[in-house]
Amino acid sequence: MLAVIESLPAYLAGFQMTLYLTVVSGILSLLLGTLLAAARVSPLRSLRSVSTFAVELGRNTPLTLVFVFFVFILPGVGIILPLGTLPAIIALTVYTSAFVCEAVRSGINSVGIGQAEAARAIGLGSIGTLRLIVLPQALRTVVPPLISVLIALAKNTSVASGFAVVELTATGRALARDYPADVIWMLLGVAAFYLLITIPAGYAASRIERRVVFSR
Amino acid sequence: MSRSVLYDEPGPKTLRRERIASIVVAVLLLALGAYLLAGMINRGLFDDRWLVFIDPPKGQTAFDVWTALLRGLRATLTAAVVAAPTAFIAAFILTTLRASGSSWVGRPVVVLIEFLRGMPVLLMMFFGLLALGLSAFWAVVFGLVLYNAAVMAEILRAGLAALPKGQVEAGTAIGLTRWQTLRIIQFPQVIRLMLPSLISQLVVLLKDSSLGFIVGYPELLRTMQLNYSFFGDRYRFPLFIVVLLIYLIVNLTLSRLAVALQRRTSGIA
């Protein structure tokens, strides 16, 4: 137990890296995922099918395989990324974007078509319909699943520990090696830091979900 | 695709314009694809290195390569096949305890589920490996079971909540105990209702079994790595593509099954 307090600086450094990976690839995959979702609901068939293909590919490939691709396969082909956080951020972004796209798309689809028809019936143009009727409703339904996607991302950053990034899980592994007598406490310490991210986020998601429910 | 809420039913003019724009985009995307492909050919990605699957070097036969990969796949599937039913049974027990009505039992179970759901699977595998001293295989199974038991317990709880209240009341009315109501009335309906979600969770479980690569379990990815270390780095790309295809085939089959089941059950309800 004492060893956990002793190694608090190491935990904090690892926690910082986990947060960094989560925030950077979270923002990037929100952007990329929204773009993909826009392509997936666009009237252009070719854009739709490319986006569908990309999302299906992303959702059915294990994250470890994505990591392996950017860390081991691309360099083998001659495209060398600097080792460390960059391949991890790219892999996490590519993987998470597919899930962001699905969340955004189902949010848009959850708005009943009658809503748009009603908006048109009272004389709103297409921009007005989107801005006043469709997007406000879609955004509300999208936020809780998006938070779940981001929680999953925070947990998924642990995969980076297998690919030369020293974040929380890698820190825990190193500490378990350094304090063989306190392995259980060391790993529970790591767990506590993960819960520091995931529990409040999950709480926020369920609160927002409850507040949004009345609109349906 | 049916018209979405985002835009009006297009007229003939818009349809024509959309079709032209779609073709233009398709041509641009094809050009990009061709450019990437040309780059890959220039790097020699489509030369004789693919022969590794037909006539591999270093005195190996194609049979050796394929059996190695299939053995890797079998290791991946074994971990998943051992973990999935165990997780399901554990989820059942957790849900039953949670629904037992006693807060002395229910509260700790809720805390346990939240704790397990909030943690990375990989960390649990390391816990099994380092703290409990399990072998790599059992560490993988340990992580998969704990995490997926918690997630499946959540799925079952959502299913219980979705059932009409009258079902429980009917059970109580004919004198069934709480456990009997759960077993005879609620769970059979919940499982049918939640089967699609449970199968989607199986896809997640299967994908997560690839984390065995990091904890040193010789599954599909590790087999791939061993193969290209043996044959040489130029074989990384073809081996990767084949492993990717294997994963896609297995996972897409499972996902399709989930979608088909969803269609069937929603047809009934």
* Residue-wise DSSP of chain B: ----TTSPPP-HHHHHHHHHHHHHHHHHHHHHHHHHHHHHHHTTTTSGGGGGGTS-STT--HHHHHHHHHHHHHHHHHHHHHHHHHHHHHHHHHHHHHTTS-HHHHHHHHHHHHHHHTS-HHHHHHIIIIIS---HHHHHHHHHHHHHHHHHHHHHHHHHHHS-HHHHHHHHHTT--HHHIIIIIIHHHHHHHHHHHHHHHHHHHHHHGGGHHHHT---HHHHHHHHHHHH-GGGHHHHHHHHHHHHHHHHHHHHHHHHHHHHHHHHH-
Q: How close is the nearest chain A Cα to the Cα of B173, in Å?
A: 32
Which residue's structure tokens are 């996972």? B251
- Whether A200 has a pLDDT exceeding 70, the answer reads yes
Q: What are phi and psi of A209, to 5 degrees?
A: -60, -45
Give pLDDT tens digits for A139-183.
Answer: 888 888 898 899 999 999 999 998 888 889 999 888 888 888 888
Confidence of residue B183 (pLDDT cuts 50, 70, 90): confident
Give pLDDT tens digits for B48-70.
Answer: 777 767 766 776 677 777 888 88
Query: What is the pTM (predicted TM-score) of this model?
Result: 0.85
Q: Which residue has the higher pLDDT, B123 or A43?
A: B123
Strand, coil or helix: A15:
helix
Q: How close is the nearest chain A Cα to the Cα of B51, in Å?
A: 17
| Predicted local confidence at residue A22, as pLDDT | 93
Q: What is the helix (H) or strand (E) element at residue A138, kind and residue range?
A: helix A135-156
Nearest CA in chain A to B127: A187
| Predicted local confidence at residue B267, as pLDDT | 57
CB A18 within 8 A of CB B120: no
- Contact across the interface for A169 and B203, Cβ inside 8 Å: no
Give pLDDT tens digits for B243-260.
Answer: 899 989 998 888 888 888
Is the CB of residue A176 less than 8 Å away from at least one CB of chain B? yes
- Whether B114 has a pLDDT exceeding 80, the answer reads yes
Average pLDDT over residues B182-210: 88
- Whether B10 has a pLDDT exceeding 90, the answer reads no
| Predicted local confidence at residue B1, as pLDDT | 41
Residue whose C-alpha is closest to residue A91's, from A144, A153, A180: A153
Closest partner residue to A76 (CB to CB) among B115, B221, B233 is: B233
CB B119 within 8 A of CB B237: no
Q: How close is the nearest chain B Cα to the Cα of A183, in Å?
A: 5
Residue whose C-alpha is closest to residue A58's, from A107, A103, A27, A19: A103
Question: B126: which chain A residues are within 8 Å (Cβ-Cβ)?
Answer: 169, 172-173, 176, 187
